[in-house]
Structure 1
Amino acid sequence: MGILVFLFVLILALVIQASFAISPDGEALLSFKAAIVRSNGDLLQWKEEDRNPCHWIGVRCDPTNQVISLILPRRKLLGPISPEISKLNSLNVLDLRYNALYGTIPPELGNCTLLNSIFLQFNYLGGAIPAEFGVLSQLKNLDISSNLLGGSIPSSLGKLSKLSKFNVSTNFLLGPIPSDGVLSTFAEDSFVGNRALCGTQINVVCKVEPVNSSAMSHLPDGSKGPERNSARFLISALATVGALLLVALMCFWGCFLFKKFAKKDSQGLAIDVSGGASIVMFHGDLPYSSKDIIKKLEMLNDEHIIGSGGFGTVYKLAMDDGNVFALKRIIKTNVGLDRFFEGELAILGSIKHRYLVNLRGYCNSPASKLLIYDFLPGGSLDEALHGNQPFLTCLRTSSNLLSSCTLSTWHSKVNLFKSKI
C-alpha cells in the first residue's frame, strides 16, 4: 500500500512539473535569445518561467500553440543566429532583417521544412549560403541581401519551384549563377552588387580558360599550363579566405568593444547620481522632491532602456504615484560648455507646444546631464518612420509645412535664433 501511495505521489509530481514546464518551442527561442549579445530590450520580455511563448514579442503561434512566425525586424539584435532555432518545427516565417546579426546562417534551418519566407537582409552574416535551403520545398521568399556572404550560389536552390522572391544582392558571392530551375527566372536585380558573379541572369559571360590541344601535346608532364591555373586558383582562394578572416576579425572586435562600452554605460547611471547630483525643475506642478527623483534614478538599469541614439540613452522613469517620464542621459564632453548648455535647457524648459515634448527638468551630475521629459507611449520615432501607419504619409508629404508652422510659432514666442533646436 505504501509503495502505491509513493508511486501516485511521484506520478502526480511529474505531471504537475510537466504542466508548468516551458514548451520545446519556448526552449528553442530562449536559446536564440541567449546567443544575442544586445538588443533594443524587447527580448527581456521572453522569460523562462513562461510556459507558453506565444505571447512573447515577435512570436506568433497556430491554434495548437506551435510557433509559426518569428518576426523581429529593426530590433537592434547584435549576435549570431543560434542553430537551436531549427527546432521550431512548425516555423513558416523567419524575419530578422535590419539588425546587426553576424556569424553564419545556420544550415540547420533546412530542418524547418514548413518555412515559406526567410528575411535576413541588412545584417552582417558571413560564410556561404546553406545548400540545405534547397530542401525547403515550401519556400516562396528568400532575401539575404546586403550581408557579407561569400562563395557560390548553391545549385540546390534551383529546385525551389515555389520561390517567387529571391534576393542575394550586395554580398561577396562569386562564380556562375545556376541556370537550371527557378533561378533562371530571376533578373539582374536579384544578384546586383556581387562583382564576381557571372551568368545569363546578369548578362555577364562566365570566363572559361581556353585549352589549346596542339600546344598541350608538345608540353611535357608537369608543364606550366596547369601550374599557372593552379596558381591563379590558389591566389584567388587565399584572397577570399583572407577577406573573410578580416571581416570576422572586425565583427569580433566590434562585438568586444560593444560589450565593453555597453557594460560601462549600464553602470554609469548609478555612478553619475551617487557621485553627487542636483535637480533643476522647470515646472512647479510636479509633486516630487529632489531626493525622491534621485532615489528613483539610482534604481535605473539596462532593463529600463527604451531607446538610444547618437546623443545618449533614453530610460523609462516610473514614479511611485504611477506617473512615467522619459530620462535622456547625455555624457559631458566639455566642462566649459556647461553654462551654455544649461542656458539652452532653460529656454527649452520654458516652452510648451503641441509639437514639442515637454522638458520637465534635468539632473546635473559630474559626468552627465539627465534630461527629464514627459513620456510618450507611442514608441520611438525610428519605429514610426519605418512603419506602415497611413498618417505617416501625410506627415512626410507635409513636413515642410509642419516645420515652418512650428518654427514660426516658437520664434514668435521665444528668442531661439541663437539656439540649436
Structure 2
Amino acid sequence: MANCQMIHLRPWLASTLVLYMLLQNGGAISPDGEALLSFKNSIVGSDTVLSFWRPEDPDPCGWRGVTCDRITKRVVYLSLKDRRLSGPISADLGKLDRLRILALYNNNFYGNIPSDLGNCTELQGLYLQGNYLSGVIPNELGNLSQLQYLDVSSNSLSGSIPQSLGKLSKLVNFNVSNNFLMGPIPSEGSLTKFPDSSFAGNKGLCGKQINEACKNDNGPSNNSSGPLSALGQGGKKKYPARLLVSAFATIGALLLVALMCFWGCFLYKKFGRNESSSIAMDVSGGASIVMFHGDLPYSSKDIIKKLETLTEEHVIGCGGFGTVYKLAMDDGSEFALKRIVKMNEGFDRFFERELEILGSIKHRHLVNLRGYCNSPTSKLLIYDYLPGGSLDEVLHERSEQLDWDARLNIIVGAAKGLAYLHHDCSPRIIHRDIKSSNILLDGNLESRVSEQQEIVDPHCEGLQAESLDALLSVAIRCVSSSPEDRPTMHRVVQLLESDVMTPCPSEFYDSNSE
C-alpha cells in the first residue's frame, strides 16, 4: 500500500517542483534585459519607439530590434537604425558580452562612444554612423578582436584614431569619414589596407592612406589632448575633476567670446577704418579662394582684387562672430562678406570642416554660402546678399509694417529651411541659434535661415483669428515640456500649411535642395 502511494505521489511532487521553479523565475528579468532597459531609459522619448521594452516582460528576446541566440537566450543582435532616437548611448550596453551586431546608425544619439563597448568581445559589426556622437574614439575598441565592420562616419568625433584599432586583424570595412579627427593615421596593422574614402572629411588627419605627410609633432598622443579628449576618456567615476574643470572652462570660454564680441563691436564703432584696412592686409598677406558652387563667373584673382577695395563704408552689420561687408562685383552682382578672425590651428581645422558641410547645402530657404577666402589671419565667408535685410530689422527698425500674410509666408519659409537641415542633410544639422536677426529676407520678403508684451503686433494688418489660433497651437506644441510631444520640423511645416495658411498647401515645398 505504501509503495502504491509513493507511485502516485512522485508525479504530483515533480509537477509541484516544476511549478515552483517557474513561479520563482517568471518575474525575474535577465541581466541582458536589465542592460537593455538601462539603454532605453537614457533615450529621450523612448516610450514611443521602444514601448514593448518593459520590465514586466522577463524575456527581452521578443523585444523590438533584439535578437537572441536560440540556445543560450543571450542577446546577440541589437538593431535600432533610422528610429530618430535621441540621447546618450548607455555604457550598460557593454554588459551584453555576447553581442555580435550593434546597429544604431542614422539616429540622433549624442555624447561619447562608451568605452565599455570594448567588453563586447564577440562583437563583429559596430554601426554608429549618422549620429551626433562627440569626444574621442575609445582605445578599448581595440579589444574587439572579432570585429569585421566598424563605421562611425558622419558624427562629430575628435581626437586621433587610436593605435589599438590597428590590431583588429579581421576588419573588412572601416569608416571614420566626416568627423573632426586629427593626427596621424596608424601606419601599421589592419588600417593600412583601407582606401582614402574611409578617412575623408577629416581635415586634420595625415598618413600614407590619404597621401598626406605628417608634420613632426611633439604634442600629446592619442586621446589625451584638450578638454574634449579628457571628456572622452574619463567617466563620472574615473575623472570627475577633469569633467568639472572642462565644464568651467567651457563656461569661461563662452563668457570670453561674448566679451570679445562686445569689445569687437565697440572697437569697430570707434576705429572702423582700422578694421577695414585689416581686410586688405589679410588678403595682401597671401590668400586663396575656396568655392563650393561653381556657378560664379569670377576668377580667384578677380575676387581678391575686390576684397582689397573694401572699406568701412561697405560694412552692413556687426554680428556675434564678425563684421559683415557688402561686396559688389563689376557686373553688378552683390554678395555679403563675413570676416572671422582665426583663433588657433585646431579651431581653423574644425571651422573648415563646418564650412564644407554648410557649403554643400543649397536650398531655397537657406542662405547660400558660395565659398570663402582663406588668409593667414582670417576667413572671409562669401554669402548671397539678400536685400530685404533681417526679420528683426523689418519688425523693429523700419517704418513699413508686415501684414499677416507676409508674416505667415516668412514663418513657413523659415520652417522649411529648418526642416531641410533637420531631416534631409547628412549629417543632420541643428541650427541652435534661431532668432529674428538670423532670418534674412530677399526682395520679395521670402525668408531664409542664416545664422512678449502682446501676442499680436498692433501694427499688423489683415489678421485672421482662425489662422492665429492655429499658429499658436503649433507654437505651444513646439515648446511642450515632454520632448516626445514636440513635432518634428517636417510635421511643423505640414501643420503650418494645412492649418495656418490657406486650405490648399503651397505648391513649392520640396525638402530636397534646388
TM-score of the two chains, using structure 2 as the length reference: 0.43
1:190-214 deviation per Cα after TM superposition (whole angstroms, max 9, x unaligned): 11111111100000000126xxxxx
Instruction: Determine the structure 2 residue equivalent to 1:95.
Output: 103
In 1, Cα distance between equivalents of 2:114 and 2:106:
18
In 2, Cα distance between equivalents of 1:15 and 1:59:
24
In 2, Cα distance between equivalents of 1:118 and 1:160:
13
Q: Please report how far the alpha carbon of residue 134 of structure 1 lies from its aligned counterpart in structure 2 after TM superposition.
A: 0.9
Q: Please report how far the alpha carbon of residue 182 of structure 1 lies from its aligned counterpart in structure 2 after TM superposition.
A: 0.4
In 2, Cα distance between equivalents of 1:120 and 1:110:
14
Instruction: Determine the structure 2 residue equivalent to 1:34.
Output: 41
Alignment of 1:310 with 2:470, yes or no, is no
In 2, Cα distance between equivalents of 1:29 and 1:239:
30
In 2, Cα distance between equivalents of 1:120 and 1:303:
23
1:290-310 deviation per Cα after TM superposition (whole angstroms, max 9, x unaligned): xxxxxxxxxxxx9998x9552
In 1, Cα distance between equivalents of 2:36 and 2:166:
30
Q: Please report how far the alpha carbon of residue 237 of structure 1 lies from its aligned counterpart in structure 2 after TM superposition.
A: 5.4
Q: Please report how far the alpha carbon of residue 242 of structure 1 lies from its aligned counterpart in structure 2 after TM superposition.
A: 12
Instruction: Determine the structure 2 residue equivalent to 1:53.
Output: 60
Q: Which residues of 2 match residues 13-412 of structure 1 at below 5 A?
A: 16-39=23-46, 41-64=48-71, 65-208=73-216, 310-312=490-492, 330=495, 341-342=502-503, 344=504
Q: For residue 122 of structure 1, give the secondary structure of its aligned residue in structure 2.
A: coil
Q: Please report how far the alpha carbon of residue 97 of structure 1 lies from its aligned counterpart in structure 2 after TM superposition.
A: 0.3
Q: For residue 69 of structure 1, give the secondary structure of its aligned residue in structure 2.
A: strand
Q: Please report how far the alpha carbon of residue 18 of structure 1 lies from its aligned counterpart in structure 2 after TM superposition.
A: 2.2
Tell me the matched-pair count.
254
RMSD: 4.4
1:54-78 deviation per Cα after TM superposition (whole angstroms, max 9, x unaligned): 1111111110321111001110010
Checking the alignment, whether the CA contact within 8 Å between 2:44 and 2:484 is kept in structure 1 is no
Q: Which runs of 5+ in 1 are unaligned?
A: 1-8, 210-228, 258-276, 278-301, 314-327, 346-381, 383-421
TM-score of the two chains, using structure 1 as the length reference: 0.51
Checking the alignment, whether the CA contact within 8 Å between 1:128 and 1:150 is kept in structure 2 is yes
In 2, Cα distance between equivalents of 1:11 and 1:242:
53
Q: For residue 76 of structure 2, give the secondary structure of its aligned residue in structure 1.
A: strand
Q: 1:69 to 1:241 in 2, by over 3 A?
A: closer
Checking the alignment, whether the CA contact within 8 Å between 1:38 and 1:79 is kept in structure 2 is no
Q: For residue 50 of structure 2, give the secondary structure of its aligned residue in structure 1.
A: helix
Checking the alignment, whether the CA contact within 8 Å between 1:109 and 1:133 is kept in structure 2 is yes
In 2, Cα distance between equivalents of 1:242 and 1:63:
41
In 2, Cα distance between equivalents of 1:80 and 1:71:
16
Q: For residue 184 of structure 1, give the secondary structure of its aligned residue in structure 2.
A: helix
In 2, Cα distance between equivalents of 1:241 and 1:84:
21
Checking the alignment, whether the CA contact within 8 Å between 1:191 and 1:202 is kept in structure 2 is yes
Q: Which amino acid aligns with 2:122?
A: L
Q: Which amino acid aligns with 2:147?
A: L
1:276-327 deviation per Cα after TM superposition (whole angstroms, max 9, x unaligned): x9xxxxxxxxxxxxxxxxxxxxxxxx9998x9552349xxxxxxxxxxxxxx
Checking the alignment, whether the CA contact within 8 Å between 2:136 and 2:157 is kept in structure 1 is yes
Q: 1:242 to 1:108 in 2, by over 3 A?
A: closer
In 2, Cα distance between equivalents of 1:71 and 1:200:
35
Q: 1:22 to 1:177 in 2, by over 3 A?
A: same
Q: 1:151 to 1:50 in 2, by over 3 A?
A: same
In 2, Cα distance between equivalents of 1:114 and 1:242:
28
